[in-house]
A and B are shown apart, each in its own frame.
Chain A
Amino acid sequence: MADAATESDLKQTPLHDLHVELGARMVPFSGYSMPVQYKAGIMAEHLHTRASAGLFDVSHMGQAVLIGPDHETTARALEALTPSNFVELGLGRQRYTVLLNDDGGIIDDLMVTRPLSPAEDGKLMLVVNAARKDVDYAHFRAKLPDNVKLQVVEDRALIAVQGPEAVAAVAAHAPQAADLAFMSAAPMEFDGIDCHIARAGYTGEDGVEMSVPAGAAEAIARALLADDRVEAIGLGARDSLRLEAGLCLYGHDIDETTSPVEGAITFCMQKRRREEGGFPGADRIQSELKDGPSRVRVGLKLDGKAPAREGAEIALPDGDVIGTLTSGGFAPTVGGPIAMGYVPAAYAAQGTSLELIVRNRRLPATVADMPFVPNRYYRKPKT
């Protein structure tokens, strides 16, 4: 997770000074100095997010815009690089997708939003992983047709607010946020500041991700943190929250060797694309959809208390090694250790007994449904 860069090589987000003021422990992460935890600690931060609301600085992630002459052209250009349907993506709607290499492996996973305003026709907004910015942007520039350009957004910060009280806390400053459906987004003012707010996140909770002007990020964060319901949450709890939600961390649970079928994220592939193909690695991916993949990402619950972490081998009971963990740790809301890893499809059924090898000991574990904690994404009441 951490890289070896020294403090002076690290980039800072617009909220850096606020993190330090709040007593954060700063660590190198994807070339940035980022808060791994604040004074409360990972466990308390995790539980606070599930109980109330957490504020996360995710400004290290890459924000960019694809700009083409009209929606259809831009959407088709992105469809050529991903297995998702963007042509039919509605105004103000957001979609999770993956950039694929020619072998059907995942270059990165990203969020794509079609602007709400018809005046922005031809634009698709992207949020990509911090560690993959350079790779992704180079890939786009090499592959996009001449009439669709990638514009990198350098002057905006990204703040996530997650938890059952998150939207109420944000709506106190940006009332329209309360009207957003899950996986939709709109431009709106937050205390008079122009922001772009999406109802989405990476914790399994209701909440938003707010793209805000870099110069206003600190004022917005302070306004939210002044609300008793909201606490600052570091990368440590962000990781344990997303693990409980069964969500992939790029470079760990998915990478250039894993396909979206193996990664169990086929929800990013809509019906038309599955049938038509026409994306990189379509041969492999369509045959995996038809016949099943040889290996697949599964959730695992350990029977005991000892955690198993990324890199631990997965084995059959008293038998051979069949796979490797890609994430794992103590899950505060579950109250015990959980993990994710890849196993042959024959051993992927829920309830399958397996063993995880930690320090030469075999810890019993059971294949479990994901998410480990029920999602609480917002569902708009039917009127």
Chain B
Amino acid sequence: MTTYYSKDHEWISVDGDVATIGITSYAQEQLGDVVYVELPESGKSLSQGDEAAVVESVKAASEVYAPIDGEVVEANDALAEEPAKVNEDPEGAAWFLKIKVGNADQLTELMDEAGYKAYVEAL
């Protein structure tokens, strides 16, 4: 299993041909208290850059964009009941969605953990 990171502060954990996607700890901290998460339906086909989910904090709504192409195979419906999980465990239990990787080449455009850490520190 390999984990990648996007410049939009998403993590993408790839296991075989399924990628689990969520937002990073840095992202949840920037958003503040999450009060609602809108997730896509299973079967929805996403192209890189499409709006995949919306996360609402007390302050504002923020889009989560698909970091790679793929078809949604599962959404984390538990977040509908407990959106605050995104603040508590963003890189674990509060994953947003799983997609079937449509174009593995796009993963090479993403950062690894060290690369993302350096990216955040430079912000």
List residues of A whose CB falls within 8 A of some B CB: 36-37, 41-44, 46, 236, 240, 305-307, 309, 329-330, 332, 337, 359
- Count chain A CB atoms within 10 A of each CB in B54, B58, B60, B61 and give the residue with the most: B58
Chain B nearest CB, measured from A233 CB (Å): 13
Q: Are A359 and B58 in contact (CB under 8 A)?
A: no
Q: Are B38 and A330 in contact (CB under 8 A)?
A: no
Q: B36 interface residue, CB < 8 Å from A?
A: yes
A36-B59, A42-B33, A46-B58 given. 13 additional CB < 8 A pairs?
Answer: A42-B32, A42-B59, A43-B32, A236-B32, A305-B36, A309-B60, A329-B59, A330-B35, A330-B56, A330-B58, A337-B35, A337-B36, A359-B38
Jot down 29 A-B pairs with beta carbons below 8 A, ordered by A.
A36-B59, A41-B32, A42-B32, A42-B33, A42-B58, A42-B59, A43-B32, A43-B33, A43-B58, A44-B33, A46-B58, A236-B32, A240-B58, A305-B35, A305-B80, A306-B36, A306-B56, A307-B35, A307-B36, A307-B61, A309-B60, A309-B61, A330-B35, A330-B36, A330-B56, A330-B58, A337-B35, A337-B36, A359-B38
Nearest chain B residue, comparing its CB with the CB of A361: B38
Report Cα–Cα, A42/B60, bound state, in Å.
12
In B28-72, which residues have CB < 8 Å from any A CB?
32-33, 35-36, 38, 54, 56-61
In the bound complex, residues from chain A placing their C-beta under 8 Å from that of B33 are 41-44
Q: Are A236 and B58 in contact (CB under 8 A)?
A: yes
Residue in contact with A359 in the complex, picked from B35, B54, B59, B83, CB distance below 8 Å: B54
List residues of B whose CB falls within 8 A of some A CB: 32-33, 35-36, 38, 54, 56-61, 80, 83
Report Cα–Cα, A36/B32, bound state, in Å.
11
In the bound complex, residues from chain A placing their C-beta under 8 Å from that of B57 are 42
Q: Are A37 and B32 in contact (CB under 8 A)?
A: yes
In the bound complex, residues from chain B placing their C-beta under 8 Å from that of A41 are 32-33
Residue in contact with B59 in the complex, picked from A44, A236, A337, CB distance below 8 Å: A236
Chain B nearest CB, measured from A268 CB (Å): 29
Report Cα–Cα, A306/B56, bound state, in Å.
8
Q: Are B59 and A306 in contact (CB under 8 A)?
A: no
Report Cα–Cα, A43/B88, bound state, in Å.
14
Chain A nearest CB, measured from B13 CB (Å): 27
Smallest CB-CB A-B distances: 4 pairs:
A43-B33, A330-B35, A42-B58, A330-B58
In the bound complex, residues from chain B placing their C-beta under 8 Å from that of A330 are 35-36, 56, 58
In the bound complex, residues from chain B placing their C-beta under 8 Å from that of A332 are 58
